[in-house]
Amino acid sequence: MDILITGLLLGGTYALIAMGLNLQYGMSRIMNLANGEILVAGGFAAFWFWTAGALSPLLTIFILAPVAFGLNWLIYIIVLRPLVRRAKSRGQLEVDSILTTFGLSFVAVGLMLATFGGDYFSYSYMLTPVEIWGQTYAVNRILAFIAAVVICGVLYLWLNRSRAGMSIRAIAVSPDSSRLVGIDVPRLAALAFALGGAITAVGGALVSTFLTLDASTGVIFTLKALVIVIMGGVGDVRGTIVAALLLGVLETFVARVIDPGLTLAAAYLLFILILLFRPQGLFGRRQS
Amino acid sequence: MKSQEYKSFGTALVLLVIAILLPWFVGDFAVTLAVNMAMFTVLATSWALFSGPTHYISLATAAFFGLGTYTTGLGLDHLPYWFLIPLAGVLGALIAGVIGLATLRLSGVYFVIFTLGLAEMTRQIITFVQNATGQKGILISIWFEEATFYWMLVALAALIFLVGWLIGRSRLGFALRIIGDDEEVARHSGINTALSKVLLFMIPGAVAAMTGAIMAPRYGYIEPLIAFTPMLSFQVVIMALLGGTGRLWGPLVGVIPFSILWEFLSASFPNQTTLLLGLSFLVIVYLLPQGFVGLLLKIKARFGGGRGY
């Protein structure tokens, strides 16, 4: 029970992070391997605001989200759009975007190492224990989980109820056909990319309240987010949430019962099983 | 063989002889640099054999390299060193085959992600096993001169060039060129695309494992963090792409300048290596999408009367 709840709490934050990546990959067709670095940057921002200005991470995200949105929008327009224009096929765009975002991720790690140094950093925020069903948990984890649920919920409603959300989902299904029905694909793709980045940065701020980060941990989060996105199905919000919760529980289980050093290996095992048996994602339909 | 082929064969032979004689004419520092160059030539060329025609980006080099170093490290008590190198190659090929069967049917992104995490996962598992058994690293009891490593790697490089050349002439090579141009067409003309890709992926797997097995005594002491450095995979990708994957000799053209440049850059800016690595990726994508080979061919096409290749 204890493992299940801790795992679900962790999975909630994972869902938020993976949602950011899913927006970027599913909607704007850019496999952003620098996603984890955006997360770490968000975590750094929360850390900095907390230690320098005693600003609660839950308030920081309101500053962080628009800044990250603008920054990611600029990255898309300046760095990635030329690639989208240049690419002759989806495969070529894929290779180019993988290499570019790898490059960006290394540049980001390098810059963060230069500014913040290679130390681990953490801060204690809301480290008060609460009791649920006879077990104690830290408040910060629960707060992060609630924030993640709220943001995921808003995003889900926006994607499913609003006109812009519907257009974005249309792009995910078929970019070519959505052009035919008058959707401005380049503008919305940039929007989806920026939004994905903002969500990831917010996820980073929330994660930093209860996990220790350092400048080069980004890649681990990128990997986990990728595993979740693929497991849940590209462009599928519901699948992402289920997959994230599943991964959270599995990781917590492995860390408690076997060895904390094996969490990534566990995520990997899940990934291999998905690749072998359901490459289209948990709820995806098999493509012909 | 046509006369053009005799000419390239002759050039290759001359270059090989020069490469073999090199350690007698240069200083110790240059030999150490040459060992690195030879190692990256081997890794990048075998990487390009697979990734050039298929456009799959493999980041598994570090995992196979680590597998090789551990083969030497664990096997040295029971078997002679000379036997362990081909053994590492066989193991690498087998594991690459299994991985290929699981992932190469799917899109390129899945493959990249899988190979990216492979080294990290293997490292976690080995660390776990070591912690469980109470063993730390492995000491390697044999030792060679730098030049010996260099000659072993040059021999391996020569072997790879030979294999690459033979593949280029074979049915497999022909099939791969078609897959590289258009996979759909290849499938319709009756080529088993998945099998061809798996077979080809076994080459860099085997080669990286053999390289690791060769290099293990140079480290003297191996532990997971040394054997599975993710940096290695990225360096190989950069060097191969910098040279260009369209020709067999392409990666070599990337390895030589990059190794020298990297040696000096990482000596002058030891804390900024990650940043520099990132910038190299961006330079390749935006300025040299076809690598040096593409650049050379373009220049040749402009000034050489438009004959090109």
Residues in A closer than 8 angstroms to B272, CB to CB, are 110, 114
- pLDDT bin (cut points 50, 70, 90) of residue A129 is low
pLDDT in tens, A68-102: 888 888 888 888 877 777 777 767 777 788 888 88
pLDDT in tens, B116-171: 888 888 888 888 888 777 777 777 777 788 888 888 888 888 899 888 888 888 88
Asked if the structure places residue A102 within a domain, the reply is: no
Asked if the structure places residue B280 within a domain, the reply is: no
Q: Is the pLDDT of residue B90 over 90?
A: yes
Q: Please name the residue of chain B whose CA is at the shortest distance from the CA of residue A226.
A: B113
Residues in B closer than 8 angstroms to A100, CB to CB, are 281-282, 285
pLDDT in tens, A244-280: 888 888 888 888 887 777 778 888 888 888 877 777 7
Q: What are phi and psi of B222, to 5 degrees?
A: -115, 140
Q: Hey, what are B159's tokens?
A: 């072997």
Nearest Cα residue to B200 out of B237, B156, B170: B170
Q: What is the mean pLDDT of residues A118-135?
A: 64
Smallest Cβ–Cβ distance between B284 and the set A99, A230, A259 belongs to A99
Q: Which residue has the higher pLDDT, A278 or B77?
A: B77
* 8 Å CB contact of A103 and B282: yes
Q: Is the pLDDT of residue B309 over 50?
A: no
Q: Which of A124-128, A179-183, B215-219 has the lowest mean pLDDT?
A: A124-128
- pLDDT bin (cut points 50, 70, 90) of residue B202 is very high
Asked if the structure places residue B34 within a domain, the reply is: yes
Q: Output the pLDDT for position B304.
A: 62
Closest chain B C-alpha to A71 CA, distance in angstroms: 18
Q: Output the pLDDT for position B92.
A: 92
Residues in A closer than 8 angstroms to B103, CB to CB, are 275
- Domain holding B191, by residue range, is 3-230
Q: First CA to last CA across chain B, in angstroms?
A: 17
Asked if the structure places residue B125 within a domain, the reply is: yes
Asked if the structure places residue B249 within a domain, the reply is: no
Q: What is the mean pLDDT of residues A144-170?
A: 83
Asked if the structure places residue A33 within a domain, the reply is: yes
Q: Output the pLDDT for position B220.
A: 79
pLDDT in tens, B259-299: 888 888 878 877 777 788 888 888 887 777 777 877 887 78
* 8 Å CB contact of B125 and A108: no
Q: Is the pLDDT of residue A146 over 50?
A: yes
* 8 Å CB contact of A108 and B278: yes
Q: Output the pLDDT for position B125.
A: 83
* 8 Å CB contact of B110 and A259: no
Smallest Cβ–Cβ distance between B121 and the set A99, A104, A268 belongs to A268
Cα A243 from Cα B109, distance rounded (Å): 19
Q: Is the pLDDT of residue B250 over 60?
A: yes
* 8 Å CB contact of B279 and A103: yes
Asked if the structure places residue B164 within a domain, the reply is: yes
Asked if the structure places residue A286 within a domain, the reply is: no
Q: Output the pLDDT for position B206.
A: 93
Total of domains in chain B: 1
Numbered residues of chain A with Cβ closer than 8 Å to any chain B Cβ = 31, 82-83, 91-92, 94-96, 98-100, 102-111, 113-114, 216, 219-220, 223, 226-227, 230, 259, 261-262, 264-265, 268, 271-272, 275-276, 279
Please state, rounded to an integer, the average pLDDT across all residues of chain B: 83
Closest chain B C-alpha to A139 CA, distance in angstroms: 31
Q: Output the pLDDT for position A288.
A: 36
pLDDT in tens, B16-56: 888 887 878 877 788 888 888 889 999 999 998 888 888 88
Closest chain B C-alpha to A32 CA, distance in angstroms: 11
pLDDT in tens, B232-244: 888 888 888 888 8
pLDDT in tens, A1-47: 777 888 888 888 888 888 888 888 877 777 888 888 888 888 888 88
Q: What is the mean pLDDT of residues B51-66?
A: 87
* 8 Å CB contact of A223 and B117: yes
Q: Is the pLDDT of residue A229 over 70?
A: yes
Q: Please name the residue of chain B whose CA is at the shortest distance from the CA of residue A227.
A: B113
Asked if the structure places residue A271 within a domain, the reply is: yes
Cα A76 from Cα A93, distance rounded (Å): 14
Q: Is the pLDDT of residue A220 over 90?
A: no
- Domain holding A16, by residue range, is 2-78+120-277
Distances in Å between the Cα of B71 and the Cα atoms of A240, B132, B133 are 39, 20, 18
* 8 Å CB contact of A223 and B128: no
Q: Output the pLDDT for position B208.
A: 92
Q: Output the pLDDT for position B91.
A: 92
Q: Output the pLDDT for position A100.
A: 86
Please state, rounded to an integer, the average pLDDT across all residues of chain A: 80
Total of domains in chain A: 1
Distances in Å between the Cα of B137 and the Cα atoms of A69, B74, B134 are 46, 10, 10
Asked if the structure places residue B113 within a domain, the reply is: yes
Q: Output the pLDDT for position A136.
A: 67
> SS3 sequence, chain A?
CHHHHHHHHHHHHHHHHHHHHHHHHHHHCCCCCCHHHHHHHHHHHHHHHHHHHCCCHHHHHHHHHHHHHHHHHHHHHHHHHHHHHHCCCHHHHHHHHHHHHHHHHHHHHHHHHHHHCCCCECCCCCCCEEEECCEEEEHHHHHHHHHHHHHHHHHHHHHHHCHHHHHHHHHHHCHHHHHHCCCCHHHHHHHHHHHHHHHHHHHHHHHCCCCCECCCCHHHHHHHHHHHHHHHCCCCHHHHHHHHHHHHHHHHHHHHHCCHHHHHHHHHHHHHHHHHHCCCCCCCCCCC
Q: Please name the residue of chain A whose CA is at the shortest distance from the CA of residue B107.
A: A91
Residues in A closer than 8 angstroms to B241, CB to CB, are 99
Nearest Cα residue to B291 out of B107, B45, B63, B108: B45
Percent of residues, chain B, with pLDDT higher than 90? 9
Q: Which residue has the higher pLDDT, B65 or B1?
A: B65
Nearest Cα residue to B54 out of B191, B178, B166: B178
Q: Output the pLDDT for position A144.
A: 80
Q: Output the pLDDT for position B308.
A: 43
